[in-house]
Amino acid sequence: MDLLHDLSYFWPAAITSIGGLAAMMAAAFKTDMRWVNAVAVFTALSATVVAASDLVAGHSGLLFSGMVAHGGTAAFGTFVVSLGTLFTLVLSRSYLEKIGHHYAEVYALILFATTGMIVLASATDLVALFVGLETMSVCLYVLAGLVRERKTGIEAALKYFLLGAFSTGFLLYGIALLYGATMSTSLDVIAATTDKGGLYWAGVGLLLVGFLFKVSAVPFHMWTPDVYQGAPTTITGYMATAAKTSAFVAFILVLGRGLQGSVEQWAPVLEIVALLTMIVGNLIALVQHDVKRMLAYSSIAHAGYALVGLTAGTLSGYDGVLFYLFAYTLMNIGAFAVLAYYETADGQERSTLEQFAGLGWQQPALGVALSIFLFSLAGMPPFAGFAGKYQVFAAAIEQGYITLALVGVLTSAAAAFYYIRVMVYLYFKSPEQPVSLPAVDRLYGWTILLLAGLTILFGVMPSLIVNLF
């Protein structure tokens, strides 16, 4: 049967949606939360394993009457999204317990959002893309406002919802105009179109605006800091990595598959946006005193680096972006996980730099892990962040975008200041009152160390991943 055959290549999405339904039932029947967490983690683990085996198997093609692709870029996107979800779920339990918001619904929403992300990251039709995007976004709006007693939580949810709906409007209008211009929503048909009139270009423009909103590129970045700051920390890590990865993979599929013929027209647009994003993101991050907010601005800057690879508009550029997203997922989830620990460890909320003084000596392994993540985010060798930056900048230089690579390297150097400043506070400042942090949950600690290990591993041997493309 066609449907079952297609489904057999789309297991990760099916698994996560079934897991989400199971978590929802667990919420209804008030199951023991340890079980819910275990089932959710198992779901994400299976999805990751299946996605990895799909990736290694190397088959590719279209499914569901050309709605989604499997293999290649889509398989890699599915893998990174599943991996990010897996780590988020493992890390969320002890954090959510500490902030008193450990509900089964959180797991259901995360797994449903993951389903949407997988569809988004595999879509070869603009309708499937839109459905995936909305499935993801609606779940994330709710997750952002999880801590509803706090004004920041409400602000995050409301801002995310309003601006998300606004940007979705752009995207949808772009899809409608492209459909009007090409008589199809299929990326392959859109790619084959030769008659490019005003309708076509207006559609492409609106589509770009919609995507740039979703990946929080300057000048469409305003929502990011408030949303990332107000959302629960592990969820912020999830939004900054898995959600951004799926949006970027969809961006790659749309540009590389549907609009590759118009690369000369959209590349200059992305070039300017990438320049602005790198400069503005990094400059504002320099003056942040709240570490979570600083990481939010840093995530804007990182979107800029990824856009550099997209601007190149070549296969090596797209592959560079994919590796960058993978590396970014590892190091950013790790960084947010350590922040989540510092924030909740002894009942005193810590978020500003001053409050981080001397914490590095408290739980040395976590301090070292955070330093590794921050060095990696700053793009220092031999960590994964360096390998990612190297690949996107190399792809840009190949295509003659020297300014772009130059600005990228210069802003990275400036960025090193605010990443290293966190470490200065961690190790070289003494706290006003003596603090002693309790030992970290064992699974939590080992997960963070695993992430740190992977950050080093893929920094030293990026070929492990690059050879998969």
Is 264 an interacting residue with respect to another protein (CB under 8 A)? no
Provide the mask over 14-33, with x wherever binding to another protein is found by CB under 8 A and - wherever it is not: -------x--xx-xxx----
Query: At closest approach, how far in Å is the CB of 33 from another protein?
Result: 15
Query: At closest approach, how far in Å is the CB of 144 from another protein?
Result: 20
Please say which residue, 105 or 290, places its beta carbon nearer to another protein.
105
Half-sphere exposure of 285 (CA within 13 A, CB side): 33
CA-CA-CA-CA torsion sign (253, 255, 258, 261): negative
Query: At closest approach, how far in Å is the CB of 6 from another protein?
Result: 10
Query: At closest approach, how far in Å is the CB of 29 from another protein?
Result: 7
Candidates 2, 149, 195, 264; binder of another protein (CB under 8 A) is: 2
Query: At closest approach, how far in Å is the CB of 14 from another protein?
Result: 10
Query: At closest approach, how far in Å is the CB of 4 from another protein?
Result: 8
Between CA 199 and CA 422 the distance in angstroms is 49
Is 287 an interacting residue with respect to another protein (CB under 8 A)? no
Is 149 an interacting residue with respect to another protein (CB under 8 A)? no
Please identify, among the stretches 1-9, 135-143, 389-397, 401-409, the one whose residues bind another protein according to the rule CB under 8 A.
Answer: 1-9
Residues in 224-263 at the binding interface with another protein, rule: CB under 8 A: none
Is 57 an interacting residue with respect to another protein (CB under 8 A)? no
Residues 154 and 145 sit within 8 Å (Cβ to Cβ): yes
How far is C-alpha 110 from the chain's CA centre? 13
Query: At closest approach, how far in Å is the CB of 28 from another protein?
Result: 4
Please say which residue, 134 or 319, places its beta carbon nearer to another protein.
134
Query: At closest approach, how far in Å is the CB of 143 from another protein?
Result: 17
Q: Judged by CB under 8 A, how many residues of this single chain contact another protein?
A: 10
Residues 356 and 292 sit within 8 Å (Cβ to Cβ): no
Query: At closest approach, how far in Å is the CB of 106 from another protein?
Result: 14
Is 410 an interacting residue with respect to another protein (CB under 8 A)? no
Q: End-to-end CA distance of the chain: give it in Å, rounded.
A: 30
Please say which residue, 116 or 408, places its beta carbon nearer to another protein.
116
Between CA 447 and CA 316 the distance in angstroms is 31
Residues 63 and 6 sit within 8 Å (Cβ to Cβ): yes
Candidates 3, 194, 264, 434; binder of another protein (CB under 8 A) is: 3
Please say which residue, 161 or 297, places its beta carbon nearer to another protein.
161
Please say which residue, 21 or 406, places its beta carbon nearer to another protein.
21
Is 437 an interacting residue with respect to another protein (CB under 8 A)? no
Please say which residue, 19 or 225, places its beta carbon nearer to another protein.
19
Query: At closest approach, how far in Å is the CB of 10 from another protein?
Result: 13
Candidates 1, 149, 287, 436; binder of another protein (CB under 8 A) is: 1
Please report, as ranges, the residues that interact with another protein according to CB under 8 A. Answer: 1-4, 21, 24-25, 27-29
